[in-house]
Structure 1
Amino acid sequence: MLEVTALPLSELRLRTSEKWGEYPDDVLPLFVAETDFPLAPAVQEVLRRAVETGDTGYVSSRNPLAEAYAGFARRRFDWEVDPSRLRSTADVSMGIVEILRRVVQPGERVVVTPPVYPPFYDLVEEAGAEVERVPLRDTGTSWELDLDGIRAAFADGARAILLCNPHNPTGTVHERDALAALAELAAEFEVAVVSDEIHAPLAQPGTGFTPFLSVSDAARKTGYAVVSASKAFNLAGLKCALMVSADDETTAVLRGLPIEVVWRTGQLGLRAAVAAFSEESDAWLDGLLRTLDRNRVLLEDLLAAHLPGARYRIPDAGYLAWIDVSALDLGEAPARRILKDARVALNAGDAFGPEGEGHVRFNFGTSPEIITEAVERIAALVRR
């Protein structure tokens, strides 16, 4: 059984990406969605070979990316994807914008479900549309789509919904029945569903993951998915994502995108994604999921022991913890206070929408030692 363990702090400090380059060395960076693990061996090897041979030009129109993802979707999600219906681009955000530009007109409204990944608000505006907020429902034990609120938004003229599944920052994997109900609403009101499924490979086995396009004919008729290996395999800087359709009309939309949208795909990103989606990388991904499972439980235990006033639900997917710290008396901007006085960098909850006030997002895609030290630093601050 393959073990995936984080690199030591001394090696992580040598990285120059956003996570490790943004703050001084006395700060523990647990904010942006990067992980601290070595690359999967198959990914390392394909990148090494590309550099050795100078294979760093433009992406070829004849490449195995779509077939590689189709195989991955079949093995991991029991989802049959037609490779001919896929198109690549630089990243998930770009894919979202390019699709929205073609399914909504300037000034039309797009539903988002806060608290949600902060760039969603900007992506809707970049596409020329306006944001309509329909917050997730907090049941007391989980979060779920507010289908009544979404219906009301569609009935009032919203033309699309930007779905986050698995949801960032809560780690919620939306249930099949809820997705099917959303698809029926979208079909009824002739609304497009754009599903950001970047965290899908990180759904824990006990929870599973349901791709939106797999749930029904209505989902296939109304939906688009945007996927990538970037979050699970830590490849965001290499620039490669896939836009997925499952119906002739939606496929025509993707085929009608300017060729430059595809040409923005990074060559190294494409090669790394093919390796990540290959069967050779399945054991590594399984090992990563086991590590993240241990880390999400460790965080729960540490919070209970050191910060019992914090409220945290173990996420279904990913490595991002959504923590309510409003009872810890850290002021109106708890993430700022924690950074200043505990030297731990977390994401501020209110960036995800007003529903995030009093919350922080904590990245546990790292070592148990760093998670432990971060919680202990915050606890020492609270005691002071």
Structure 2
Amino acid sequence: MNAFEQVISRKNTRSVKWGNMEAVYGVENAEEILPMWIADMDFPAPPPIIEAMRERLDHGIFGYSYICETCKDAVRSWLSSRHRWETQNDWMLFHHGVVPAIATVVETFSKKGDNILITTPVYPPFFNVPGHQERNIVECALLEDNGTYSIDFEAFEKCLQQDIKIFILCNPHNPAGIVWSEADLRQILRLCNQYDVLVLSDEIHADLVLPGATHIPLAKLAEEEGEKIVTCVAPTKTFNLAGVQAAIMITSDEELKTALQKNAMAHGQMELNAFAASALKSAYTECEAWLDELLETLSTNMDYVINELPKAVPGIAIQKPEATYLLWIDYRGTGLSEEDMMDKLLNNGKLALEPGTKYGEAGRGFLRMNIATPRSVVEDGVKRFITAMQA
């Protein structure tokens, strides 16, 4: 049995996904509910990463650490070989996660009352983090056609005219799994440059592009055009290391980099911990074959759900995403409200998915399902969904 088939209990491991559902969903008997909500995987990290962390543990001394040039070389080489994006070591600043990095960028390059643009439905921290920093959120809803999304560039430009300071791009997109085309990315760059808007490109899902699609780093298209871009990448989503906490902010703009460094000093932000550095280096130098196998597993898991669930539940429609390990399930055809759907899933099916409005009002009528789990668990999730709808 390979690592992607083995069911490993995550209970009593302080797992948010498996141990915190009572607080998140307000339900009793949470231990009966199957969690397929938050975006981490039920697969163990690649063996080379585990070995690298074990080697660091066995050393026994865990003093202050720093990110060495070899770690930066690993990131640079990965971005070059995997995404054909040529970067430089001195463009990189390390952080404790992409969400903290988003907070840093928003704080550094805007002030209270400034306007931040997002395209919804989108990852909740895109509006929660700036909102808690007392920035105004300007939403530009994506165009949706039978579960397929695109950018309404006419509306997008009108939003940019509202004195926007930062546009936060999700590339690839979470929750819809869109891999943005070169034409879309170039149009984003052109308009943001025209209105002098900094682009924060969250590319944490870049390595989770499924076979047949190709991720294009936004900054790769802008290397000679001078646009203001900060890109966030991380090994954590790709290799299931969210609890280890490591991310990289990348910018070729010296002024942007200096401002980010100043913010880090103002907050006493330290380097990554010893285990994060070891994991990051191993991920980007030893684990590409593991990732390729993972992507095949994710694709077949998606195919199973897409083939089985709409067939068994009238009114359900699912478009296969181009990236991520998340399915964006359209249940509008059932006629159910979000409240009724969630009630059926949690109380009848004992299944925890994420409601679409968590991603903004534009997500109403949809559910997000995480299929990065062994096939037997995916099959159990589908059965629970069907049971919920039949009850």
- Alpha-carbon distance between aligned partners in 1 of 2:39 and 2:69, rounded to the nearest angstrom: 28
Displacement of 1:314? 0.5
Would you say the 8 A contact 1:86–1:243 is kept in 2?
Answer: yes
Q: Paired residue for 1:288, among 282, 288, 294?
A: 294
Structure 1 residue aligned with 2:16: 18
Q: Do the aligned partners of residues 140 and 327 (structure 1) sit closer, same or farther apart at CA in structure 2, a change above 3 Å counting? A: closer
Would you say the 8 A contact 2:36–2:371 is kept in 1?
Answer: yes
3-state SS of paired residue (1:225):
strand
Q: Does 1:29 align with 2:42?
A: no
Greater mean alpha carbon deviation, residues 325-334 or residues 196-205:
325-334
Structure 1 residue aligned with 2:25: none
Structure 1 residue aligned with 2:6: 7
Structure 1 residue aligned with 2:126: 120
Displacement of 1:167? 0.7
3-state SS of paired residue (2:141):
coil
Q: Matched residues, percent identical?
A: 27
3-state SS of paired residue (1:59):
coil
Q: Does 1:48 align with 2:54?
A: yes
Structure 1 residue aligned with 2:380: 373
What is the TM-score when the length of structure 2 is the normalising length?
0.92
Structure 2 residue aligned with 1:326: 332
- Alpha-carbon distance between aligned partners in 1 of 2:123 and 2:155, rounded to the nearest angstrom: 19
Displacement of 1:332? 3.3
3-state SS of paired residue (1:265):
coil
Structure 2 residue aligned with 1:358: 365
Greater mean alpha carbon deviation, residues 254-263 or residues 202-211:
254-263
1:8 partner letter:
V
Q: Do the aligned partners of residues 301 and 224 (structure 1) sit closer, same or farther apart at CA in structure 2, a change above 3 Å counting? A: same
1:65 partner letter:
C
Structure 1 residue aligned with 2:247: 241
- Alpha-carbon distance between aligned partners in 1 of 2:359 and 2:147, rounded to the nearest angstrom: 20
Cα RMSD after superposing both structures: 2.0
Displacement of 1:353? 0.7
Q: Do the aligned partners of residues 51 and 250 (structure 1) sit closer, same or farther apart at CA in structure 2, a change above 3 Å counting? A: same
Structure 1 residue aligned with 2:194: 188
- Alpha-carbon distance between aligned partners in 2 of 1:297 and 1:32, rounded to the nearest angstrom: 20
Q: Do the aligned partners of residues 348 and 139 (structure 1) sit closer, same or farther apart at CA in structure 2, a change above 3 Å counting? A: closer
- Alpha-carbon distance between aligned partners in 2 of 1:224 and 1:361, rounded to the nearest angstrom: 27
Structure 2 residue aligned with 1:167: 173
3-state SS of paired residue (1:221):
coil
Unaligned runs of 5+ residues in structure 2 are: 22-29
1:5 partner letter:
F
Q: Do the aligned partners of residues 150 and 267 (structure 1) sit closer, same or farther apart at CA in structure 2, a change above 3 Å counting? A: farther
3-state SS of paired residue (2:72):
helix
Q: Do the aligned partners of residues 128 and 220 (structure 1) sit closer, same or farther apart at CA in structure 2, a change above 3 Å counting? A: farther
Structure 2 residue aligned with 1:254: 260
Q: Paired residue for 1:89, among 95, 100, 125?
A: 95
Displacement of 1:56? 3.2
- Alpha-carbon distance between aligned partners in 2 of 1:88 and 1:116, rounded to the nearest angstrom: 24
Structure 2 residue aligned with 1:151: 157
3-state SS of paired residue (2:338):
coil
Q: Deviations over 1:239-275 (max 9, x none)?
A: 1111010233333333333235651633322221111
Would you say the 8 A contact 1:243–1:254 is kept in 2?
Answer: no
Would you say the 8 A contact 2:147–2:318 is kept in 1?
Answer: no
Unaligned runs of 5+ residues in structure 1 are: none
Would you say the 8 A contact 1:50–1:268 is kept in 2?
Answer: yes
1:168 partner letter:
N
Would you say the 8 A contact 2:314–2:334 is kept in 1?
Answer: no
Q: Deviations over 1:345-370 (max 9, x none)?
A: 11111111111112111000011211
Q: Does 1:301 align with 2:299?
A: no
Q: Paired residue for 2:234, among 209, 228, 243?
A: 228
Displacement of 1:12? 3.6
Would you say the 8 A contact 2:310–2:318 is kept in 1?
Answer: no
- Alpha-carbon distance between aligned partners in 2 of 1:372 and 1:331, rounded to the nearest angstrom: 25
Greater mean alpha carbon deviation, residues 235-244 or residues 14-23:
14-23
2:19 partner letter:
G
3-state SS of paired residue (2:164):
coil
Would you say the 8 A contact 1:43–1:275 is kept in 2?
Answer: yes
- After TM superposition, list the pairs within 5 Å mapping 1:269-284 onto structure 2: 269-278=276-285, 280-284=286-290
1:228 partner letter:
A
Q: Do the aligned partners of residues 163 and 261 (structure 1) sit closer, same or farther apart at CA in structure 2, a change above 3 Å counting? A: farther
